[in-house]
Amino acid sequence: MSQFSASGDKRTLGDYIEVAKVYPAGRLDYDSEGLMLLTDDGVLQNRISSPRHKLAKTYWVQLEGEICANALEQLRRGVELKDGMTRPARAQLMQAPTVWPRDPPIRERKSIPTCWVELQISEGRNRQVRRMTAAVGYPTLRLIRAAIGPITLDTLQPGQWREVDVARELPAQWLRPAAAPRRSPQSRPHRRTPRHPGRSSDRRS
């Protein structure tokens, strides 16, 4: 589970991560696998997880059946879901990635082939990738998040982690505070109180 608090007999981040005071920036479904970013920086956490920042996330998706060109084009244009049309995605066929065995294994039907698609989306709807592929006629069998922005899964194995060099590896726009909305002249107060400089803090992800 993508949380530190106990959840029945399910393993959580607390079984693998011993770093204090870090929290997940976004989540993964219990049936999904792959990359997660943890941080102690609330601004950075919001920029990674909030859908309004349109941060691209890349997934490797194993589908039931051999997806056709028309279905790929539907994913690229956007798919109508119960909660509205999705944004256009990047979608392309890919070779099966060299990754760890899934535990438990997926349920494949011997009479039906499977294929892998690399799908990049910039939204964070609940179970969005699974719903998108189902909507175009190809259920998701296995879902691995391979990248969040420029940060990739690389060679990490299940349960492993590494520290990210924030200044070197993350885009500058992830680290800047969000700009305050402009107020009309009528809404501005006649007096302004002086601002005190905030303390800078190290960011760690």
CATH number for the domain spanning 80: value is 3.30.70.1560
- pTM score, two decimals? 0.82
Residue-number span of the structural domain to which 81 is assigned? 13-153
> Domain for residue 167, yes or no?
no
Please answer whether residues 43 and 156 qualify as being in contact, where contact means their C-beta atoms are separated by less than 8 angstroms.
no
> Domain for residue 18, yes or no?
yes
Residues with Cβ within 8 Å of residue 184, at least 6 apart in sequence = none
Nearest to 44 by CA among 177, 200, 150, 145: 177
> Domain for residue 2, yes or no?
no
> Domain for residue 123, yes or no?
yes
Read off φ and ψ for residue 161, nearest 5 degrees. -150, 160
Catalytic residues: 29
Note the pLDDT tens digit of each residue in 115-156: 999 999 998 888 999 999 999 999 999 999 999 999 999 999
117: its two tokens: 């698609």
> Domain for residue 5, yes or no?
no
Note the pLDDT tens digit of each residue in 147-195: 999 999 999 999 899 998 888 888 887 776 655 555 555 544 444 434 4
Residues with Cβ within 8 Å of residue 110, at least 6 apart in sequence = none
From CA 132, how far away is CA 145, in angstroms rounded?
Answer: 15
